């Protein structure tokens, strides 16, 4: 079942998001496929490696829609709604559980569906190298601009900008969102920037740093362009949570501000519901999350984040070994 999903916005825009609504029959058949995978006792690692094979048993409409995402213009952000989810567990509070030995239902759903876009992978040092990351508020991160923060705004960014090969797509799968707290996305048309701004932002001089030092990432920083790729369909690497223009002349700061304003003007909010799987083109779509009040009571907002590389074989030289889907943080 395919429809266009109108999503209201905290920031004026209403963009129509390409949406696939899973119906009841499809939902039942997805539960069956996942249960079969769980009973086959495949490890999470094998499951992620062979996800595309397991995904062949999913309903055909869902497969056609999902494999089309990488091919279709206007698919920078898409939503699959009505998927099955398991709310028998409380939202984690302090630490993400370690999942790699077993397949949990709530991990299997996004891994299986995301596998149709490319290779699902995990990053060394990020949440025990789990194949999905749990996005939930932690008391100790309340005031940090990171996924597990809450009170503080997590400003506009593309994920893992500091990596050489961040996932070019990622998905956010909603298990629980009791107060409908949105994920903000922006699809900026970079052609609207002045030529001078585009030229400056394409220079290899901007600083990218990991959002967080310590457990979730290493303390790396590199120089790279903000706008890159093909002139006719440019890509974006962006992060407003630290100073990308550190040490640069005023004209670079002005160009950065012009881009930031375009991002804000092209934004909308998507309050994910349980069973929603949101795919974001991480090379085109910056996202953010406004601050919110967490209760740390096991009922807080809980998302699962899954990274995908659609060009897995091209980046083999930067992986620890050619078959490994758990890559280092220098990746
Ligand atoms: O919580 C959200 O909606 C987005 C989280 C996020 O941007 C991230 O974890 O990288
Ligand atoms: Fe993010």
Q: Which domains does the chain have, with CATH numbers?
A: 2-187+270-327 (3.60.130.10)
Q: pTM, whole model, 2 decimals?
A: 0.94
Maximum alpha-carbon separation in the chain: 59
Please write the tens of the pLDDT for every residue from 64-74. Answer: 999 999 877 77
Distance 126 CA to ligand 1 centre (A): 14
Specify whether the CB–CB gap between 240 and 160 falls below 8 A.
no
Please write the tens of the pLDDT for every residue from 170-184. Answer: 999 999 999 999 999
Query: Counting atoms of ligand 1 from 1, which one is nearest the CA of 301?
Result: 1
pLDDT of residue 261: 98
Query: What tokens does 326 get?
Result: 């758990």
CA dihedral 271, 273, 161, 75 (to 10 degrees): -90
Distance 47 CA to ligand 2 centre (A): 24
Rounded to whole angstroms, how far apart are CA atoms 122 and 45?
Answer: 10
Please write the tens of the pLDDT for every residue from 187-218. Answer: 999 999 999 999 999 999 999 987 664 444 55
Per-position b or e across 86-96, b if 16+ CB within 10 A of its CB: eeeeebbeeeb
Pair type for strands 206-209 and 15-21 = unpaired
Which protein residue's CA is at the shortest distance from atom 9 of ligand 1? 147
Distance 149 CA to ligand 2 centre (A): 11
């Amino acid at each position: 079942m395919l429809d266009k999903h109108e999503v209201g916005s905290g920031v004026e825009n209403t963009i129509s998001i390409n949406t696939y609504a899973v119906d009841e029959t499809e939902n039942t058949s997805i539960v069956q496929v996942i249960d079969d995978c769980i009973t086959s006792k495949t490890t999470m690692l094998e499951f992620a490696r062979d996800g595309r094979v397991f995904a062949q048993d999913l309903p055909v409409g869902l497969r056609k829609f999902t494999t089309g995402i990488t091919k279709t213009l206007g698919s920078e952000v898409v939503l699959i709604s009505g998927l099955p989810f398991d709310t028998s567990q409380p939202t984690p509070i302090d630490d993400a559980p370690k999942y790699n030995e077993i397949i949990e239902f709530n991990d299997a759903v996004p891994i299986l569906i995301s596998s149709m876009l490319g290779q699902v992978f995990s990053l060394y040092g990020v949440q025990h190298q789990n194949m999905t990351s749990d996005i939930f508020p932690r008391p100790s991160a309340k005031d940090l601009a990171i996924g597990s923060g809450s009170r503080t705004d997590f400003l506009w960014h593309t994920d893992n900008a500091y990596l050489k090969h961040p996932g070019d797509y990622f998905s956010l799968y909603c298990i629980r969102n009791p107060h409908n707290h949105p994920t903000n996305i922006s699809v900026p048309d970079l052609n609207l920037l002045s030529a001078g701004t585009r030229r400056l932002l394409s220079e290899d001089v901007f600083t990218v740093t990991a959002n967080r030092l310590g457990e979730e990432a290493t303390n790396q920083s590199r120089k790279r362009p903000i706008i890159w790729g093909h002139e006719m369909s440019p890509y974006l690497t962006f992060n407003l949570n630290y100073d990308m223009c550190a040490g640069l002349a005023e004209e670079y700061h002005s160009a950065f501000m012009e881009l930031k304003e375009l991002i804000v003007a092209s934004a909308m909010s998507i309050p994910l519901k349980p069973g929603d799987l949101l795919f974001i083109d991480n090379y085109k779509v910056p996202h953010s999350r406004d601050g919110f009040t967490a209760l740390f009571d096991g009922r807080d907002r809980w998302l699962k984040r899954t990274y995908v590389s659609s060009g897995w074989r091209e980046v083999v030289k930067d992986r620890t070994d050619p078959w490994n889907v758990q890559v280092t943080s220098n990746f």
